[in-house]
């Protein structure tokens, strides 16, 4: 196991889950009966309405369903799913949907409980990450037997989730099966190309530099797939807090290994990463900010980085270049300059 997680108590993670559960449940319970089919976005014409919690799941659903479904993501760019609290409009969208797709594995805190209660005979509510074989899941010691929910960081594992999304769409809409199968096949081929690119360029980084230091430990699947050691200042969930000891330990690791760069994340404050840079400087070692990675959310909607492929292409290219690989900044598809 190449993944290493710094000390991070589970108590705060459990506290946040417990806090969000009644909030999400109350939001669901208080919606009036007339909201059952009310569309907050005024789009009543779609034959199938799909709501996904994260952008990554929504991206897969859009790619597979094409124009046959209206797909909406509850969480936008920069949103931290560990701390996410659904709004009244979010819950209206859930109640208006034919299919609700969420990650599960406790990624969405206790929102999963509220989503489960939204399940009816006419509304499918599916935790897609819980549909794959458990043998593909990582179980960090920090989570005391619970799996790491950040499956999308490994395109090979994520393709299994994409297949689960495809199967849910087919079950809900058998008449669209041929379209869903064809679109899913094309999307899976893109994931295969993404994995091939990641394998190639990440292997160009000198072996002693294959250490990924990030704001929180969302990159375990990435590290496992591409043989990188992953060090997060915070734990698996951003609900945990990093202490001075955690930062000092990472500063020592960065200095001892001569790591040239550390990475911020778009959905997590960068103060801890900045503290590592300053701590290393105080001890005579220069480490720079290698860039900002997408961890729990994709980039801006309507951009290349606002797709799953673009998100991972950005991450892989940013990491490889910052740690010493001589590759173009334009990435796998030449679109990172867009």
- List the structure tokens of 295: 């961890």
Nearest to 152 by CA among 172, 174, 181, 129: 129
Strand order in the sheet with 211-216: 3-5, 229-234, 211-216
- pLDDT at residue 19 greater than cutoff 50: no
- Output the pLDDT for position 241: 53
CA dihedral 156, 184, 309, 142 (to 10 degrees): -40
- Output the pLDDT for position 103: 97
- List the structure tokens of 139: 């179980």
Q: What is the mean pLDDT of residues 86-104?
A: 94
**Assigned CATH for 205-323:** 3.40.50.1980
- pLDDT at residue 96 greater than cutoff 90: yes
pLDDT tens-digit map of 145-187 = 899 999 999 999 999 999 999 999 999 999 999 999 999 999 9
- Output the pLDDT for position 64: 99
- pLDDT at residue 237 greater than cutoff 60: no
Backbone angles phi, psi at 253, to 5 degrees: -65, -45
Tell me how far apart the alpha carbons of residues 314 and 293 are, in angstroms, rounded to a whole number: 8
Q: Can you give the residue ranges of every domain in the chain?
A: 48-196, 205-323
* Domain formed by 48-196, architecture: 3-Layer(aba) Sandwich (3.40)
Nearest to 263 by CA among 250, 252, 274, 253: 274
pTM for the whole structure: 0.84
Tell me how far apart the alpha carbons of residues 129 and 81 are, in angstroms, rounded to a whole number: 14
pLDDT tens-digit map of 33-86 = 333 333 444 444 558 999 999 999 999 999 999 999 999 999 999 888 988 988
């Amino acid at each position: 196991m190449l993944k290493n997680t710094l000390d991070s108590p589970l108590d705060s993670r459990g506290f946040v889950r417990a806090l969000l559960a009644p909030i999400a449940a109350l939001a669901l319970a208080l919606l009036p009966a007339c909201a059952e089919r009310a569309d907050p976005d005024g789009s009543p014409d779609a034959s199938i309405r799909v709501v996904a919690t994260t952008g990554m799941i929504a991206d897969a659903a859009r790619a597979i369903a094409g124009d046959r479904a209206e797909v909406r993501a509850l969480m936008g760019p920069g949103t931290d799913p560990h701390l996410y609290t659904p709004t009244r409009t979010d819950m209206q969208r859930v109640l208006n949907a034919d299919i609700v797709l969420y990650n599960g594995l406790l990624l969405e805190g206790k929102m999963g409980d509220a989503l489960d209660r939204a399940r009816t005979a006419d509304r499918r509510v599916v935790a897609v990450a819980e549909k794959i074989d458990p043998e593909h899941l990582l179980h960090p010691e920090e989570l005391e037997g619970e799996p790491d929910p950040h499956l999308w960081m490994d395109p090979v594992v994520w393709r299994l989730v994409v297949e689960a999304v495809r199967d849910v769409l087919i079950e809900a809409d058998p008449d669209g099966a041929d379209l869903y199968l064809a679109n899913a096949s094309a999307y899976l081929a893109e994931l295969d190309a993404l994995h091939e690119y990641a394998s190639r360029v990440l292997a160009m980084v000198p072996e002693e530099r294959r250490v990924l230091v990030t704001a929180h430990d969302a990159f375990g699947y990435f590290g496992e797939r591409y043989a990188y050691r992953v060090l997060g200042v915070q734990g698996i969930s951003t609900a945990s807090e990093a202490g001075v000891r955690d930062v000092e330990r990472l500063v020592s690791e960065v200095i001892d290994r001569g790591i040239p760069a550390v990475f911020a994340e778009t959905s997590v404050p960068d103060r801890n990463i900045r503290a590592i840079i300053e701590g290393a400087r105080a001890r005579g070692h220069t480490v720079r900010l290698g860039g900002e990675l997408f961890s729990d959310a994709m980039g801006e909607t309507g951009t290349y980085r606002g797709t799953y492929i673009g998100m991972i292409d950005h991450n892989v290219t940013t990491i490889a270049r910052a740690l010493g690989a001589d590759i173009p900044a334009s990435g796998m598809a030449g679109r990172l300059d867009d």
